[in-house]
Structure 1
Amino acid sequence: MTGTEREINQYFESVYRSQPTDGSVIAAAGWDLSEPQPLVVELEAVGAIRGEILDAGCGTGENALYLAARGHRVTGIDAAPTALAHARAKAARRGLAAEFAEADARDLSVYRARFDTVIDSGLLHTFSGRDAADYIAALHLACRPGAAVHIMAVGDTAPAGPGPRRMTETDLRESFTAGWDIEVLRRSVMRGALPGGPAADIPAWLLTARRH
């Protein structure tokens, strides 16, 4: 792990350590809701989520637990141990079966050809350059042929400022080339809060790519 990677992981861990344990809405982490992302609910409702599911960058588990409550088999991964502790505690309180594991999303070799669906609600936009390429290659490795990857990322029309990378259509198209077919790429919104702002609908992209 490089110094930069370590700093990023330490940042997310420090944010989650400041979270209350009662699942309060937004709290310290603007991306951490006490409910699933509306886009995840929408995708599940139209049958776009099926089979063995990976929630990449699951945080405290709201998306994974929503899907588990709907009868899906879900594995959530995150690099922040405290986030995973919150997720496991929520699962226990709600009586839900979901697997949560600490992992670097850029190395998913232990999950080779395991998943039929991936949801990424705000992870890709935290990576850039080589890290982003490694992450997408790791998703390809972890997916079975025909698997769908659903990416939700802050868009280039979101207000400028600190926080995640604002992704353009070109960023996304160039990220999913060899080994993928892009089936959906449209503007949407994500629920959350950018640094210093209130909870709101943030301009975002929804991309669905199909693994060859």
Structure 2
Amino acid sequence: MVQAHHATGPEDLYATPPPWDIGHPQPALQALAEAGVIRGRVLDVGCGTGEHALMAADLGLDAIGVDLASAALRTAKDKAHDRGHVVRFLQRDARNLAELGESFDTVLDCGLFHIFGGNDRTAFVDSLRSALRPNGRYFMLCFSDRQSNEGWPRVHRVSRNDVHAAFADGWHVDSIEPTTIEITTDPAGIRAWLVAVTRI
């Protein structure tokens, strides 16, 4: 889920199982899979231990996951092997997806966008544009501005206006819906947005 961009950050997040690593896809993204809107070649950015890339593979889709945390990527590769899926998991910075040299129809993001602010957020959105084909779709789960920051120091609380500002140029914001990110430490979960954006 969360991919930090600080030098010491990514591995710290997976030194012990993080609360967002729930062992299965987030229900909000699973619902998209069941609705048939996750299509074509799929990129899972900030993939963590790989549940959403593996969810795409369950649909028979070609899926790739990228993250900075090598410990999480090792777990993701083990899961793929155990489940009999061929999914590539690569150690890459999501702010430079052009380095992949590949194009995707769908990008999934569970908890990465809200890590970035300022120039990092701009770089990430530009990076998404380089990876998504025209009419490709980006689906994001992020912290809502309705959620307290307490206990989540690296996370930006995201408003609807933040989403529209980030995707104002060359994108169409299709929907911003209130939802929940499940975590292991609180049955109420985290108040979140499920965002769908299309690259124009």
Q: Tell me the distance in 1 between the aligned counterparts of 2:81 and 2:115.
A: 29
CA distance in 2, matches of 1:58, 1:9: 18
**Deviations 1:72-126, CA, capped at 9 Å, x for gaps:** 1110000111110110011111111111100000001123461000010100001
Task: Give the count of matched residue pairs.
Answer: 195
In structure 2, runs of 5+ residues without a counterpart are none
* Secondary structure, aligned partner of 2:79: helix
Normalising by structure 2, report the TM-score: 0.92
Match of 2:65 among 76, 85, 95: 76
In the alignment, residue 204 of structure 1 is paired with which amino acid? Answer: A
Unaligned runs of 5+ in 1: 20-27
Give the partner amino acid of 2:199.
R
| Residue 209, structure 1, aligned to residue 197, structure 2 | yes
- Of 40, 51, 63, the residue aligned with 1:62 is 51
Distance in structure 2 (CA, Å) of the matches to 1:150 and 1:75: 15
- CA separation in 2, counterparts of 1:108 and 1:71? 23
Question: Partners of 1:171 and 1:56 in 2: how far apart?
Answer: 19
In structure 2, the residue matched to 1:11 is 9
Trace 1:172-187 onto structure 2 (pairs within 5 A): 172-187=163-178
Q: Which amino acid aligns with 1:127?
A: F
Identity %: 34
Match of 1:147 in 2: 136
- 5 Å matches for 1:1-212? 5=5, 8-16=6-14, 18-19=15-16, 28-112=17-101, 114-163=103-152, 164-192=155-183, 197-212=185-200
How far the C-alpha of 1:144 sits from its partner, in A, is 0.5
Greater relative contact order (Cα 8 A, min sep 6): structure 1 or 2? 2
- Paired position in structure 2 for 1:23: none
* 1:198 counterpart letter in structure 2: D
Q: Give the TM-score taking structure 1 as reference length.
A: 0.87
Partner of 2:145: helix, strand, or coil? coil
Q: Whole-Å Cα distance in 2 between the matches of residues 113 and 155 of structure 1?
A: 31
- The DSSP-based 3-state class of the residue aligned with 1:192 is coil
Aligned-partner Cα distance in 1 for 2:57–2:181: 21
